[in-house]
Amino acid sequence: MCLFPSAAAPLNIVSPTCRFWRKALIGVLAVHLVIILLDFICFSWWDAILDILAFSIGYCAIREEDQYEISRLLCYVMFLIFDFVFAGVKCCLFFAGVAGAPSGDKKNWQYYCYVVLVAGSTAFYLIGSMVAYRLYKSLKEHVEGNGVAQPIDASNPGYGGRGYHPVANDDPASLPPRDDGFKPFDGQGHTLGRSGGGGRTTTQAQPRAQAQATSTQRTQMDARRQAAIDRLERKARSTNNAPSS
């Protein structure tokens, strides 16, 4: 992720201390190139790939003077710390005779280059991580102590090129007038249902309610009459079906 383009612009920090440690880190990157070259000479391909990745991150973090990408610089510090740990383990295993050189057991010039690489890379990763961390610490102290102005955005030149937009608590008198085509209604409003229409509606609704009540009563009376007829029929049937003595 450290190699992808960052969404935030590099921080513009002008500080003599940061410039000093940036120059020191440039020297660290130069030695890192030598380490990468020795990796290829000694056939240490995996270490060469990791060193190229770390070098690219460190270079992108400080490639322009007074322009720093703190997130990438922190990634470079972490890379160097991890490389120091693994290089220290590899150095111990090599000089203990547990692990051999990638070029073989034959003690030729590549073997001695690998000896220099194993011992030198361990010291380099330690010193390089310290230098990179000092630059990171100086940048962090400068940002937290003095603050950093927001970088100018050329694509948004409004308000000094810093993309500022007025917010709700700005003074309305200081804002320019805006014509959005809105025209307030200056006529007379009317409300429906407040004249005689409401009375007519109530008068028309009363006969309908009375008709519905009458219909309901008739339905109930018909139901009662039918129920009485059904009871009489059942009683007559039971009398006819009774056995004679």
The phi and psi torsions of 64 (rounded to 5 degrees) equal -115, 140
pLDDT at 57: 93
d(CA 202, CA 154): 70
Closest CA to 47 of 23, 73, 75, 79: 79
Nearest CA to 89 out of 98, 80, 102, 77 is that of 98
Buried b (16+ CB within 10 A) or exposed e, 6-24: eeeebbebebeebeebbeb
Q: Quickly count: other Cβ atoms within 10 Å of residue 26's Cβ.
A: 14
At 213, which amino acid appears? A
Count other Cβ atoms within 10 Å, centred on residue 81: 16
Report the run of H or E that residue 129 belongs to, with start and end: helix 109-146
The 3-state secondary structure of 22-75, one letter per residue: HHHHHHHHHHHHHHHHHHHHCCCHHHHHHHHHHHHHHHHHCCECCEECHHHHHH
pLDDT in tens, 191-245: 665 554 444 445 555 667 777 777 888 888 888 888 888 888 888 877 777 665 4
pLDDT digits 0-9 by tens, 9-64: 678 888 889 999 999 999 999 999 999 999 998 888 898 999 999 999 999 999 88
At 82, is the pLDDT very low, low, confident or very high (cuts 50, 70, 90)?
Answer: very high
Q: What is the pLDDT of residue 199?
A: 46
Q: What integer is the mean pLDDT of 96-106? A: 78
Q: Which pair of structure tokens corresponds to residue 29?
A: 């990157």
* Tokens matching residue 222: 């018909």
Residue 181: strand, helix, or coil: coil
pTM above 0.85, yes or no: no
- For 124-181, how does the pLDDT look when each residue is reduced to its tens digit (9 = 90+)? 999 999 999 999 999 988 888 765 444 555 555 544 444 445 455 555 555 566 666 6
CA atoms of 132 and 141, how far apart (whole Å): 14
User: What is the pLDDT at residue 49?
Assistant: 92
Query: 35, 74, 72, 79: which is closest to 57 by C-alpha?
Result: 72
Q: What pLDDT was estimated at residue 56?
A: 93
